[in-house]
Amino acid sequence: MQFRKDINGLRAIAVIAVVLFHFNPSWMPGGFAGVDVFFVISGFLMTGIIFRGIEQENFSILKFYVARANRIIPALAVLCLFLLVFGWFYLTPLDYQTLGKHVASSMGFLSNIIYWRESGYFDAASHEKWLLHTWSLSAEWQFYIIYPLVLVAMKQFMSLKMMKVTVLVGTVLGFIFSVIATYQWPNPAYYLLFSRAWEMMIGGVAFLYPLELAKSRKKVFEWAGLTLIIVSYIFISKESLWPGYLAVIPVFGAFLLIQAQRNDSIVTSNRLFQLLGKWSYSIYLWHWPLVVAIYYFSLDEKFIYSGIILSVILGFISNRYVESIRLRSYFSGIYGYLTCKPLFMAVFVGVIGTVIFIFRGFESHYPESVLVASKESMNKNPRRDECHVGSGKVPECIYGSGDLGAIVIGDSHAQSIIRSVEKSLENRKVLDWTMQACRTIEGLYSIRKGVIDSSCGDFVSYAINEIKKYPNVPIIVDNRYMAMILGPNEPDLKHRVEKPDYFIFEIKNSISRDNDYISAMNEAFTNTLCSLSENNPLFLLEQTPELKHHVPKTMAKEILKGNENFRVKISVEEYEKRNDLFYKLMEDLKSKCNVKIISIKDNFCDNNYCYGDVNGRPVYFDDDHLSEYGASLLIPVFRKSLGSI
């Protein structure tokens, strides 16, 4: 097949977008669509290899697999080995253990499945996953495994013409299914092959149905395709449901550009784009760990520019000295294929990653103070997943035994204190009515990426009705309320501050956190708590100090750097300023509904600062949720409050 400069240039257009988006999303909000462009290119090239082989009756599935392994595995293995060596010295125990798991899943091309299963409310931020970008390689590899098998099987009972039609029909059906899946199952739809295969198959359609265009028409197709791709990069954002129907914009743009077949284009065939296209795979591999490093080590934003330049340099080095190594692609017999070097590389590096994961990052090589800090991130309520309301289920978990002593209602902050409430009550049990990310407001619903979720408000209505069965039983309410009102204060969640994503029907689709929004939310919160307190004593916790940074990980990282006495903290002034509205709200609730306030500030703050640790041990398992140890410090507070009624 003749070398296609236009496709090589299209690779550059894709990798530039992905790199710019990852280093700074505001530069190119939809740059992640560059991955979708890569998928189209991959589908075009793979379909060409397979169909030419089938037509010439010399296609070998094993040879195809080895050729793909020769192309993908060596550079990936080098990156993974580098990260494992780097991580030994600079990552915390849990992060190093996680890296081991991610290395193993990347070398086994299952990382897309791992990241899908990890995605969730308590999961580590994406900027802490050094190999997150390999999800796309895994999806591609899974396509490489399945696609030729299906086509070879089809050849047994179909003509080539019917095979081509089947690929076309499959592409259309795959797109329709992807749109449905994106709305029904957004997390798996993003990561898994079933909703991405159509993007690779449309590349196949471009190969199977090439257009014979006049020179003037070629320019039209090229610029139309380029326009669609650029539009997707600029006007789509990570708030969009993806892939969904919007993915057709960059995908069809890539399709048109491939169909244009303009090898003499100034856009795709210029020297710079040809070099970036040549290095694009290695640039893609190396850029994301550099993005993570900037976040992980809290480097100044000026390092973004250095990171971009270094991505290109490392991409060049990797392409020149790793990708360009010629490896054998043909063997005699199945056992011969098992001796191919990339297979040994994948197994070797994958086994190292697995061992690191199994042995918990080899904790013994860390100082004890690092282990103490790091392990607190796992010190959570062991029944958290079991007892949190979700998926339409209300488990109503019971802690303890005896008569019912209290009911805890709220979001994950309430879940983190519930075992301490149990321990504060002797010979009495506690009922758990907590729901992930659900503030105690009747009628509350969320809108994220265009999807409306009213399950929180429905659950609160359920609680108001059910509470009638338990008159006079104390209720404890705890919510991360101010994060809903003002937005989260974590540096990596700044994009969620400007616009609210929780609403009640009186302020439907509010576009800002203005006074009307805040007043309506406060009124709804007050009305809900007053309803709950009609026949039950109700206690409301002060806001837990939000420390912005993951306390156990930050402490462990600082200790590794030699800062033994480092403490994660915020000023009391900052805490009080952020929660000023909540203090006023508490006063209103005290006067209107006789709500009693449980003060927790003094347990974590002195006159100047609120701290994330007590005597060197973290009291949080992340940046804002109390660990089991941190919550245990509140047992005397709960005992005193509940003993007063």
Tokens 């129907």 -> residue: 245
For residues 14 and 44, give the distance between their C-alpha atoms in angstroms, rounded to a whole number.
15
pLDDT of 120 strictly over 60: no
Digit-coded pLDDT (tens) for 35-57:
999 999 999 999 999 999 999 98
Closest to 558 in 3D by CA, of 357, 333, 230, 297: 297
For residues 411 and 388, give the distance between their C-alpha atoms in angstroms, rounded to a whole number.
9
Sketch out the chain's domains with CATH numbers.
5-365 (no CATH), 377-643 (3.40.50.1110)
Q: Write the burial class of residue 334 (CB in 10 Å: 0-12 exposed, 13-18 middle, 19+ buried).
A: exposed
**Which is higher by pLDDT, 436 or 273?**
273
For residues 215 and 282, give the distance between their C-alpha atoms in angstroms, rounded to a whole number.
34
Closest to 45 in 3D by CA, of 6, 7, 76, 16: 7
Digit-coded pLDDT (tens) for 487-511:
888 877 776 667 788 888 666 656 7
Please give the pLDDT value at position 398: 92
Q: What would the two tokens of residue 277 be?
A: 């296209």
pLDDT of 529 strictly over 50: yes
User: Following DSSP, what letter does each residue of 415-469 receive, concatenated?
Assistant: HHHHHHHHHHSTTEEEEEEEBTT--S-TT-EEEETTEEE-HHHHHHHHHHHHGGG
First-to-final CA distance of the chain:
83
468-486 CB burial, b ≥16 within 10 A, e <16: eeeeebbbbbbbbbbbbbb
Radius of gyration of the chain (CA): 28
If phi > 0 it is left, if psi is from -120 to 50 it is alpha, else beta; for residue 255 that is alpha
For residues 445 and 442, give the distance between their C-alpha atoms in angstroms, rounded to a whole number.
9
In the chain, the percentage of residues whose pLDDT exceeds 90 is 80
Q: What would the two tokens of residue 120 be?
A: 């969730």
In this structure, which amino acid lies at residue 394?
V
Question: 252 falls in which pLDDT band (50, 70, 90)?
Answer: very high
pLDDT of 123 strictly over 70: no
Digit-coded pLDDT (tens) for 137-161:
999 999 999 999 999 999 999 999 9
Question: 449 falls in which pLDDT band (50, 70, 90)?
Answer: confident
Closest to 102 in 3D by CA, of 121, 122, 79: 79
For residues 181 and 204, give the distance between their C-alpha atoms in angstroms, rounded to a whole number.
22
Please give the pLDDT value at position 34: 98
Closest to 558 in 3D by CA, of 625, 612, 603, 628: 612
Q: Do 624 and 478 form a contact (C-beta atoms < 8 A)?
A: no
Question: 614 falls in which pLDDT band (50, 70, 90)?
Answer: very high
Please give the pLDDT value at position 190: 94
Question: 447 falls in which pLDDT band (50, 70, 90)?
Answer: confident
Digit-coded pLDDT (tens) for 541-595:
999 999 999 999 999 999 999 898 899 999 999 999 999 999 999 999 999 999 9
Question: 394 falls in which pLDDT band (50, 70, 90)?
Answer: low
Please give the pLDDT value at position 393: 59
Looking at every residue in the chain, the average pLDDT score rounds to 92
Q: Do 419 and 503 form a contact (C-beta atoms < 8 A)?
A: no
Q: In 3-state terms, what secondary structure has residue 540?
A: strand
Q: What would the two tokens of residue 166 be?
A: 């089947």
Please give the pLDDT value at position 408: 96
In this structure, which amino acid lies at residue 198?
W
Poorest-confidence range of 199-203, 534-538, 561-565?
A: 561-565
Taking the CB of residue 55, how many other CB atoms lie within 10 A of it? 11
In this structure, which amino acid lies at residue 400?
G
Q: In 3-state terms, what secondary structure has residue 237?
A: coil
Closest to 77 in 3D by CA, of 102, 110, 106: 106
Mean pLDDT of 456-471: 93
Please give the pLDDT value at position 121: 35
For residues 68 and 154, give the distance between their C-alpha atoms in angstroms, rounded to a whole number.
22
Please give the pLDDT value at position 122: 37
Q: In 3-state terms, what secondary structure has residue 478?
A: strand
For residues 175 and 173, give the distance between their C-alpha atoms in angstroms, rounded to a whole number.
5
Cα atoms in the Cβ-side hemisphere of radius 13 Å centred on 280: 24
For residues 499 and 390, give the distance between their C-alpha atoms in angstroms, rounded to a whole number.
25
**Which is higher by pLDDT, 126 or 380?**
380
Digit-coded pLDDT (tens) for 223-238:
999 999 999 999 999 8
